[in-house]
Amino acid sequence: MIQIPTNTKLLREILVAFIRNEVEKTGLKRVVVGLSGGVDSSLSAMLAAEALGPKNVLAIMMPYKSSNPESRADAETVIEKSGAQSLLVDITPQIDAYFERFPDADARRRGNKMARERMTILYDHSARWNALVLGTSNKTELLLGYGTLYGDMASAVNPLGDLYKLQVWALAEAVGVPLAIVKKAPSADLWHGQTDEGELGFSYREVDQLLYLMVDQRYTRAELIAAGFAERFIDEISSHIMNSQFKRRLPVIAKVSQRTIDRDFRYSRDWGK
């Protein structure tokens, strides 16, 4: 059994300081966050409320008509508990209007479209409210590519991007995310009965242990096999990581000049801040 460290006291201290620092240095003091009622967005929202004060956090719930009503109820308990401001934007009309023209779109296209509509709503309200968009993607889904590019993966600052799902669960419990949210099966909630683990075909517990050794501890394939992981599982996860690399980078730019953005024009994002 591989133990992934979950020092929740220290993680909480660091992530709260991170949100406060990275937001305030831009000259802003507020964030907007898409709150689904799942553990990731609940944790992000609660950490932001702690860092910036709840009145500076706007949690936006953006259900579609097929969304599980329990998700909405869970989101509301987080709003109540954190004291964050909230807004409800039902995305059904804009989604349905679009897919009336493309009725044979499959579940994947519909799911991605919903994620991207939610992104545009978050960015619109960030402009309206002088706020930054707070991210909710964790390290597990970022590494597996289990997210929608320019959809739920889009944000200005993301406190959870270096936390595996197991760490998210531990930290969520420690900061007081309601236990019902921490314990329920993670789901993108695109259709009835969908779960992450069902769709991915493995459990977060299994994959986090593998990712931790592979990515953080730099175990070789032979060392991973010796540690008890099945070859097929190792190869499947390796290909997930490789094939989703594009989601973790800026678009590829054709180099023609002497100085090309992100290749030999290199500045930190916090340039001058």
Partner 1 sequence: MSIRVAIAQINPRLGDLQANLSLYEEKIRQGIKERADLLVFPELSLTGYYLRDMVPSVALSANSAEMNKLKHLSRKLAFVAGLVEESADHRFFNSAVYFEDGEVRHVHRKVYLPTYGMFDEQRYFARGGRIRAFDSKFGRIATLICEDLWHPSTIYLAALDGALAVICPSSSPLRGIVDQQSQDDNARYWEMINRVNAETFSLFMIYGNRVGFEDGVGFWGGSEIVDPFGQRIAKAKYYEEAFLVGDVKLESVRRKRTIAPLLRDEDLDLTINELMRIRERPVAQGKVQKFKSSKVKRRGKSKKK
Give, as ranges, the residues between 247 and 266 that touch partner 1 (CB under 8 A).
Answer: 265-266
The distance of closest approach from Cβ of residue 7 to partner 1 in the complex, given in angstroms and rounded to an integer, is 5
CB 73 within 8 A of CB 37: yes
What CA–CA distance (Å, rounded) separates 50 from 125? 21
Residue 19-58 contact track with partner 1, rule CB under 8 A, x = bound: --xx--x---------------------------------
Which tokens sit at 193? 């009965």
Residue 100-139 contact track with partner 1, rule CB under 8 A, x = bound: ----------------------------------------
Tell me the backbone φ, ψ of residue 157, rounded to 5 degrees: -135, 135
What CA–CA distance (Å, rounded) separates 230 from 215? 17
Bridging pattern class, strands 85-88 and 57-61 = parallel
Q: Does residue 220 touch partner 1 according to CB under 8 A?
A: no
The distance of closest approach from Cβ of residue 10 to partner 1 in the complex, given in angstroms and rounded to an integer, is 6
Q: Which is nearer to partner 1, 1 or 97 (CB)?
A: 1
Q: Does residue 2 touch partner 1 according to CB under 8 A?
A: no
Q: Could you give the 3-state DSSP secondary structure of residue 192? A: coil
Q: With CB under 8 A, what is the number of residues at the site for partner 1?
A: 24
Q: Could you give the 3-state DSSP secondary structure of residue 58? A: strand
Q: What is the DSSP secondary-structure string of 59-81?
A: EEE---TTS-HHHHHHHHHHHHH
The distance of closest approach from Cβ of residue 149 to partner 1 in the complex, given in angstroms and rounded to an integer, is 20
Q: Does residue 192 touch partner 1 according to CB under 8 A?
A: no
List 32's β-bridge partners, or say none.
Answer: 58, 133
Q: Which is nearer to partner 1, 162 or 236 (CB)?
A: 162
Interface with partner 1 (CB under 8 A): 3, 5-7, 9-11, 13-14, 17-18, 21-22, 25, 157, 265-273
